[in-house]
Structure 1
């Protein structure tokens, strides 16, 4: 029931828009007059064909993608893309530039090295525990590509502006800020996002790949690890994660028809993040962990004066109906993930709770 739902600040799987959940609920047993659930229909049916085509069309409109870009829905999450990108797009004798801004960048770099390919870590914020996004990066003009993680869920940093790389294509892991703001897609060779943070449920990874990147794909790769396998079959070489694609399609519909597009979504996200950061900046009790100019609008990471107080804060917040505020197990602390589906009302309520907790414990 709606009245029993909590304020969801989980980092992933994360909050989904309530209208999307309600539409799924309403049509779950009889999807589009088929007499079957969306989880029962064939992926070769007219019903699912309409779902995937609409998901692609809405993605194209929201991101203003031209015909050079293919929108794919793959399994294996963003983590599989860490190895698929160098496998498909880093030719022998070439090197790729990687910017290391945290855990997921580190994992992506590891996958290139496993394949025995050359990776240049051209910038890193590891020297200060990944609290910032590097600037003035010396990219190599002959690199096969540049790889970045656009938003860092664990450390709470985000690229405010994407780097200038000249003619070198950017490969971007946008798992946690996909569809949160408009951007120019043209410099990107691949954009990928595990859906479970900001655009859908776990089980599907959205991959947007530019046509000229497909020309790089070697013929001698395993079939299921080639981008061309999926681009040539509209993501249906094998059975796709139908329910996850359907939910993602409904999220795209919500973004288009209810929110009104990415410009409006970005304004909402800026307002939410501003409410939380402005409050913390005025407080001597809560301390943000990311540099001011590198702060994420999706994942607000913060500490309290002691670990004991952090544990108490999380416990009392949970009892008060605020979920998912515990920081990642690798860093501790606290984290509020305020993705698209987390409303201004939820952030306002969280700020009120934080004020009350500070008064009692500060």
Structure 2
């Protein structure tokens, strides 16, 4: 028997909203997973029942993202934050440098970790402008001999997103796509490595997806701990040790949901619609709402803005919470307001928030 619950408007930046149909299916299968008499959380990761879940999730991700045969999918743990260390540990060879494009807090963290393992530098930065934009492609300065070039595709804190990606030729392009993977079609072949924490668009926290080009694996250092080698997980189909089985099951169900909606083109169209509801309200407010990102760099996932004064902002956030909108506070490091409209956030939630914004402006102008 399903419990009747009141769902909130969930704009949390992560962990974020999950599709209600996926949650309902997980609820139905929680006690007895497909006739096994066990929960998926109780299955041996060596059992056929679990391996089917595992392999289907990999196959679904390859299908939806059109991942070429040159790349493979890994399911790891430790979040994107562990990737900040694993990447230079594996691929920052002695005598080479790595370029990092600085577009926000997460690229800063990735850069700080990489400095522990070798020589890194800023290939571009928008920090002087308080990370209000993404660098243009002609602003990128990197070397043809670099070990790799690293970027963060979407910046959850500042609300900016790459619209186009560079063609880096022989320089491996690596991207942290934690907060916008699966939100639109991308050309995976441009990238040597893509990594993403699952807790935005892919599923619950605890799973980290890595899409890696096979020839890059061959270039990795070998004198590093076993669990921190990508090759360890590649050779064992991400089953070297016990994986986060429930998280991977949920990820697979989210991928099925995306497929049923019509794939990434349909998801991208819906995400455009949701973001436009909020951005149009900001732009039509005559300065009552002040968007943080420049229009050409605006994120479709994290919509950031401020109000004219701290007191008005505080009142806005308090009333938003009272009206059932959760997670609208900006990141603790910069404050302000943020609407995170990930894939599973329905259009209706953004429409309701638009109406709240308009009403609040009317009452407080």
1:289–1:301 CA contact under 8 A, matched in 2: yes
Q: 2:21 aligns with which of 19, 22, 29?
A: 19
What are the within-5 Å matches in structure 2 for residues 296-307 of structure 1?
296-307=299-310
Structure 2 CA distance for aligned equivalents of residues 287 and 303 of structure 1: 5
Structure 1 CA distance for aligned equivalents of residues 130 and 6 of structure 2: 38
Structure 2 CA distance for aligned equivalents of residues 3 and 243 of structure 1: 23
Q: Structure 1 residue 312: deviation in Å?
A: 1.4
Match of 2:38 in 1: 36
Match of 2:280 in 1: 278
Q: Deviations over 1:142-180 (max 9, x none)?
A: 111110000000000000111222221210000000000
1:139–1:165 CA contact under 8 A, matched in 2: no
Cα RMSD after superposing both structures? 0.9
Q: Structure 1 residue 346: deviation in Å?
A: 0.6
Q: 2:227 aligns with which of 224, 227, 234?
A: 224
Match of 1:121 in 2: 122
- Return structure 1 stretches of 4+ with deviation > 4 angstroms: none
Q: 1:92 aligns with which of 80, 94, 99?
A: 94
- Could you tell me the TM-score, scaled by structure 1's length? 0.98
Q: Structure 1 residue 220: deviation in Å?
A: 1.1
- Could you tell me the TM-score, scaled by structure 2's length? 0.97
What are the within-5 Å matches in structure 2 for residues 167-246 of structure 1?
167-246=170-249
Structure 2 CA distance for aligned equivalents of residues 327 and 289 of structure 1: 11
Structure 2 CA distance for aligned equivalents of residues 307 and 232 of structure 1: 53
Gaps of 5+ in 1: none
Q: Structure 1 residue 138: deviation in Å?
A: 2.1
Match of 1:74 in 2: 76
Q: Deviations over 1:256-301 (max 9, x none)?
A: 12x1111111111111111110111000211110011000000000
What are the within-5 Å matches in structure 2 for residues 106-185 of structure 1?
106-115=108-117, 117-135=118-136, 136=138, 137-185=140-188
2:68–2:188 CA contact under 8 A, matched in 1: no
Gaps of 5+ in 2: none
Structure 2 CA distance for aligned equivalents of residues 56 and 282 of structure 1: 43
Q: Deviations over 1:171-221 (max 9, x none)?
A: 000000000000111121110000011111111100111101100122211
2:291–2:304 CA contact under 8 A, matched in 1: yes
Q: Structure 1 residue 46: deviation in Å?
A: 1.1
Q: Deviations over 1:64-97 (max 9, x none)?
A: 1122211011000000000100111111111111
Structure 1 CA distance for aligned equivalents of residues 24 and 18 of structure 2: 10
1:30–1:37 CA contact under 8 A, matched in 2: yes
1:77–1:194 CA contact under 8 A, matched in 2: yes
Match of 2:6 in 1: 4
Match of 2:298 in 1: 295
Structure 1 residues 221 and 65, CA gap change in structure 2 (3 angstroms): same
Structure 2 CA distance for aligned equivalents of residues 129 and 341 of structure 1: 29
Q: 1:324 aligns with which of 327, 340, 344?
A: 327
Q: Structure 1 residue 3: deviation in Å?
A: 4.4
1:275–1:347 CA contact under 8 A, matched in 2: yes
Q: Deviations over 1:307-343 (max 9, x none)?
A: 1121211111111111000000000000000000001
Q: Structure 1 residue 2: deviation in Å?
A: 5.2
